[in-house]
Amino acid sequence: MNDIAQAGDNRLKDALAQVTERYQAANPISLARWERARDVMPGGNTRTVLHYDPFPVAMVKGEGAYVTDMDGHTYVDFLGEYSAGLYGHSNPIIQNALKEAIDGGTVLGAPNRWEAGLAELVCQRFPSIDQVRFTNSGTEANLMALGAARAFTGRDRIMVFDGAYHGGVLYFAHGGTPVNVPFDVVFAPYNETQGMLDVIAAHKDDLAAVLIEPMMGAGGCIVAETGFLTALRQATSEHGIVLIFDEVMTSRSSSGGLQQRLDVTPDMTTLGKYLGGGASFGGFGGNRDIMAQFDPTSPSALPHAGTFNNNVMSMAAGSAGLGQVFTPEKADALFEQGEAFKNDMNTLFRRHGANMQVTGAGSILGLHMTSAEIRTPYELGATSNEKQTLVHLEMMIRGYVYAQRGYMSLSLPISPQDQDGFVDALGDVISTYGDLLTA
């Protein structure tokens, strides 16, 4: 590092230390809660992604697009529960559906009056889904879809993309993690058509499935290029490989998910997040031949278990939400609202000469500390975690919450005025730090 770079680095560290001190002083009750929790939960945490530096504030209330923390600060919620909070915090249709479900008893141990209705809505919406099964999470949905593909093809191997996230046991950054399920996995590069085709060619007779997010979510909100997806669709069809789109995050991108917007139809699709109306949810579906493997009236049926797969809260809130609130028109409008927000932020960065950019599609966006083009998760290696933390804590202090790594998702109650307020606050942070964020 030369002298100028070293001086910049020292200033960044000083700025970070100062904002951390201000954040800590403003959140004594959240800090005390976190310290107490550390005694009985590793890192005071039971869901890794909810930890951020120096400690996370704990929320006590949500209303509309706002959340309030233990120390009494109210924030505009641009995190949106990592996309599960699409309906916001107090939609009356969702609340009434949940109340009705609870009043009718929550553990009926039988099919209930909501699940087939939710399945009908899902099958009508998503081009690739003739039939669907529900699970408790997106992770489970992906595990079941992979199992279905392996049984259907009689092959074992799975192809995934470097940097992809499909759940806590299906995390494929940096070669995977020791807690991953031990599938026979091969890696391909995202958005690199020839590299991807080479991996398929090398394993074509062994591959049961290719699992892909049409936009990498946790990997940095990087949208798959259409030519890349079309080539993937063609190659998988040619070799009898089941193509699975993980639309756990992106299913909100149009009335029929990102697959409809990008005009590429997979064999199977996995779902999650907001489709349970804010209660726990996952789903996997696909063409009739693959899904028929689970028909319990068949003597050779595959098992699909899960005590809470059709729990009344997720089924009732999910069907009320998809049927009455998140109509196809609302889905398109939210996508456009998100695109406008992304453009406003990128315009702001250009105006200030900030070394920052926002990527993503529609209402799911990623803020990055680089203005260089990002097409694959590798290119994110060049971005600065310290700058992310600095900007994140400054935005929290100004009343805006999103994920420290830069992830944002919009909920339906977020207004254009809320978005303008966010852009103004971001402009204020950039002006405050000048060349620390523009150099």
Closest distance of CB 259 from ligand PLP, Å: 13
Closest distance of CB 139 from ligand PLP, Å: 3
Of 220, 222, 221, 217, the C-alpha closest to 248 is 217
For residue 78, state whether it binds ligand PLP (rule: CB under 6 A).
no
C-alpha–C-alpha distance, residues 18 and 393, integer Å:
11
Looking only at residues 118 through 137 of this chain, which bind ligand PLP when binding is defined by CB under 6 A? Answer: 137
For residue 82, state whether it binds ligand PLP (rule: CB under 6 A).
yes
Closest distance of CB 421 from ligand PLP, Å: 26
Specify whether the CB–CB gap between 133 and 185 falls below 8 A. no
Which tokens go with 392? 């994140």
Which tokens go with 37? 């929790």
For residue 80, state whether it binds ligand PLP (rule: CB under 6 A).
no
Report the chain's C-alpha Rg in angstroms: 22
For residue 366, state whether it binds ligand PLP (rule: CB under 6 A).
no
Specify whether the CB–CB gap between 137 and 311 falls below 8 A. no
Specify whether the CB–CB gap between 98 and 114 falls below 8 A. no
Closest distance of CB 229 from ligand PLP, Å: 15
* Binds ligand PLP (CB under 6 A): choice among 69, 115, 213, 394: 213
Of 280, 317, 320, 310, the C-alpha closest to 107 is 310
For residue 355, state whether it binds ligand PLP (rule: CB under 6 A).
no
* Binds ligand PLP (CB under 6 A): choice among 138, 278, 283, 321: 138
Kind and range of the H or E element at 196? helix 193-203
- Tally of CB atoms within 10 A around 376: 19
* Binds ligand PLP (CB under 6 A): choice among 88, 167, 220, 360: 167
- For β-strands 164-165 and 171-172, DSSP reports them as antiparallel
Q: Please, which residue, 142 or 419, has the CB nearer to ligand PLP?
A: 142
- Could you tell me which residues are beta bridge partners of residue 209? 158, 242
Those residues whose C-beta lies under 8 Å from the C-beta of residue 233, and which sit 6 or more positions away, are 243, 264, 265, 266
C-alpha–C-alpha distance, residues 293 and 288, integer Å:
9
Looking only at residues 218 through 237 of this chain, which bind ligand PLP when binding is defined by CB under 6 A? Answer: 218
Count of residues that bind ligand PLP according to CB under 6 A: 16
C-alpha–C-alpha distance, residues 387 and 384, integer Å:
5
* Binds ligand PLP (CB under 6 A): choice among 166, 252, 368, 392: 166
Which tokens go with 94? 């969702």
Q: Please, which residue, 208 or 249, has the CB nearer to ligand PLP?
A: 249
Q: Please, which residue, 213 or 418, has the CB nearer to ligand PLP?
A: 213
For residue 362, state whether it binds ligand PLP (rule: CB under 6 A).
no
C-alpha–C-alpha distance, residues 85 and 87, integer Å:
6
- Cβ-closest residue to ligand PLP? 138
Looking only at residues 237 through 266 of this chain, which bind ligand PLP when binding is defined by CB under 6 A? Answer: 246, 248-249
Closest distance of CB 182 from ligand PLP, Å: 18
377 backbone φψ class: left, alpha, beta (φ>0; ψ -120 to 50): alpha
* Binds ligand PLP (CB under 6 A): choice among 56, 282, 377, 413: 282
For residue 165, state whether it binds ligand PLP (rule: CB under 6 A).
yes
Closest distance of CB 426 from ligand PLP, Å: 24
For residue 406, state whether it binds ligand PLP (rule: CB under 6 A).
no
- Kindly list the residues in this chain that would bind ligand PLP in the complex (CB under 6 A): 82, 137-139, 142, 165-167, 213, 217-218, 246, 248-249, 272, 282
